Structure 1
Amino acid sequence: MTTSPLRTMTETTPTALWNDSSTLSELTAAIGWGAVGATCNPVIALAAIRADLPRWQARIAELALAHPTATESQLGWLVVEEVSVEAARLLEPAFAEHRGRNGRLSMQTDPRLHRDAAALVAQAEHFASLAPNVIVKIPATSVGIEAIEEATYRGVSINVTVSFTVPQAVAAGEAIQRGLARRDAERLTTAEMGPVVTIMVGRLDDWLKAVVARDGLDVDPEHLEWAGVAAFKEAYRVFGERGLRPRLLAAAYRNDLQWTELVGGDVVLSPPFAWQERFQASGHDPEPRMGKPVDDVVLSSLRSIPDFVRAYEVDGLDPVEFDTFGATRHTLRQFLEADAELDRIVRDVVVPAP
């Protein structure tokens, strides 16, 4: 029985481990298990601030004095920047060792900008300037695909987010590829850029479970646990077939299959810290299973759900439909709510209750 399943995975397969948190204590522990990167989003950044709230409340007060005309949102995002840069420092050794492919800390663009490609690109460039090992998250929406290509062309390493389906992942991967090709054509460096394309595997499962309950569909509940895994494996196949340079990244974990079935590929697995603790305690000896197809019986069952077909087939969604896919709307709303909650934390400091 292995004593460190995650380290075994990272040392014996091409699969990389990133930590789905920028909380310093969690990231430090994950690095000890072999993690060479970290992802973040508005909900996770909010959790990191809450985990050390007195400290960050004091810092908000200092920032408010230093920036007397800044809005609540602007002050909140200054804190997010500081949280992120602090975490990025822990990953500098891995960044140097892997020459930019790993060792990166993800910063997500403000979800309130999701309809404005130019604003997303501008913020991506700003975030990338904060530390050499920052990777910037841009959503796989119709507008986001445009921003992903342009930001890549401008030299920003992108982590595609708000992405749940094979069509989104492939469109985003091809947008990154176009941005890299434009840089290559102008003899701009791309060698140390480290783009990844996330599929939020558990959030696809969540959405399909909601659809099955809403529509009264007769689908084996155990089969629903495989939906995100199936989409990820299919995207991995298409990426290889089309020679797309970005790696795929699995996030939003809901079950053990989203670890055990994805080991062995040249991909990034980014479980939340609690899931890493669970995997570490499992004693499981990870085996390469990325190339093992999902059982035909399971796939046939899942194909009875129209939204799974749309998520699984490479042409199942047009880019304009990325915006209206249920998981996209649900996730964007969660991220926007986290933004609003961060505003409230700032407000309680700047304008405390009487």
Structure 2
Amino acid sequence: MNNIDDHPLRRLNAAGQSPWYDNIHRSMLEGGALARLIRDDDLRGVTSNPAIFEKAIAGTDEYDDAIRQALAARPGLPARELFFLLALDDIRAAADVLLPVHRATDGVDGFVSMEVSPDLAHDTEATIREAHELAASLDRPNVMIKVPATRAGIPAIEELIADGIPVNVTLLFAVGRYAEVAEAYLRGLERRLDHGQPLARIASVASFFVSRVDSALDPLLATQAPALAGTLAIANARLARARFHALFDGPRFARLAAAGARPQRLLWASTGTKNPAYSDVLYVETLIGSDTVNTMPPATWTAFRDHGRVAATLDTGLEAAEAAVAQLAGLGIDLATVTERLEAEGVAAFLKSFETLLAALDAKARAVASAA
């Protein structure tokens, strides 16, 4: 694309979908890469997770100087506290770079997300407490606190929205669980309204994971229904979109919207293509619609910028999506069981990344201490 104002990422925004970047690391902030993505590609937000921070902090030497400085100021600083010191500095820096986007979009976009500790995924009260601590420590209007969509996460989401804290709900795989998340968001807004608190600029996204569904189902379909391979993740997302319309197009939300509330946008996560037989932009091109977000890992971002096609694809093919999902039961595949397993695996994977990161930080701290 020769025209910087007409490449696919910019046209994605024009189609009503906000492109966010699923990556963060210190050199990206200090070297100006994030600012360039905003300027050149009209990037609208950034997401992080424990796996991303593990790769950035434990997998590079970008943070070594900051680690040495932190330990010189506070010898014996525990690895967990050291992680938050490093990560929160990155989140604040990203939020500051994104603040003009936040202002230009009237608070719709320009967010960066920071996740609560993954070992709190099944503890409602601890999640609420840490979310408040993170929000207070970050002290930026354009930071979202990520909360996993576990059973313990649902009441935490309601409480945090009622308290006015922006929330990115993560690790969503099932349409039914998505509906519970959206209901929690609505209840939180209703509590604010009933207490005379403002609803304007209360922001939330529901991060619905896509490609992992195909990764889980494709092996089960390979012999029984190979034509369905690579279609169920998109079908599942379209059913979530239908539920979004059912929840946010009716009178219940209209009452909240009249008081200034905004819908909780669906955010398509896990949109990197894991099967090399599929298009590298499959999970972007097929899920384009208004009031949505797609957070892309770097390789997908670059691929879509280069050869992505923009068309309103999300609100089509609902009957075909319903039929595809309905076929699973006849094949002896229980989608609910698969999505429950994916949720559990997602929580476990983030916890493993977090523990690996803390172990690496502990080792780096010992190395710094021995060299002193």
TM-score bin, normalised by smaller chain: 0.7 to 0.9
* Equivalent pair of 2:114/2:144 in contact (CA under 8 Å): yes
SS at match of 1:262: coil
One-letter code of the match for 1:224? Answer: A
Separation in 2 of the partners of 1:77 and 1:149?
25
* Equivalent pair of 2:58/2:360 in contact (CA under 8 Å): no
CA RMSD of aligned residues (A): 2.4
TM-score (normalizing by structure 2): 0.83
Q: String of CA shifts for 1:219-253, please: whole Å, max 9, x gaps.
A: 21x52322221111111111111226201000111
- In the alignment, structure 1 segments of 5+ residues that lack a partner are 312-316
Superposed displacement of residue 258, structure 1? 1.3
- In the alignment, structure 2 segments of 5+ residues that lack a partner are 254-262, 274-279
* C-alpha spacing 1:303/1:270, structure 2 compared with 1 (3 Å): farther
Is structure 2 residue 156 aligned with structure 1 residue 147? yes
Q: Which of 328, 331, 336 in structure 2 is aligned with 1:310?
A: 336
Written as runs of structure 1 = structure 2, the 5 A alignment for 1:1-354 is: 4-11=7-14, 13-23=15-25, 24=28, 27-31=34-38, 32-49=40-57, 53-68=60-75, 70-129=77-136, 130=138, 131-209=140-218, 212=220, 218-220=224-226, 223-243=228-248, 245-253=263-271, 254=273, 255-282=280-307, 284-293=308-317, 295=320, 298-304=324-330, 309-310=335-336, 325-352=340-367
* C-alpha spacing 1:44/1:307, structure 2 compared with 1 (3 Å): farther
TM-score (normalizing by structure 1): 0.87
Separation in 1 of the partners of 2:87 and 2:332?
38
* C-alpha spacing 1:307/1:119, structure 2 compared with 1 (3 Å): farther
Aligned residues between the structures: 336
* Equivalent pair of 1:202/1:228 in contact (CA under 8 Å): yes
Q: String of CA shifts for 1:86-136, please: whole Å, max 9, x gaps.
A: 221221111111222211001011101112111111111122221221001
* Equivalent pair of 2:99/2:142 in contact (CA under 8 Å): yes
Identical-residue share of aligned pairs (%): 26
SS at match of 2:267: strand
Separation in 2 of the partners of 1:217 and 1:157?
44
Separation in 1 of the partners of 2:150 and 2:33?
30
One-letter code of the match for 2:204? Answer: P
* C-alpha spacing 1:165/1:27, structure 2 compared with 1 (3 Å): farther
* Equivalent pair of 1:105/1:133 in contact (CA under 8 Å): yes
* C-alpha spacing 1:235/1:188, structure 2 compared with 1 (3 Å): same
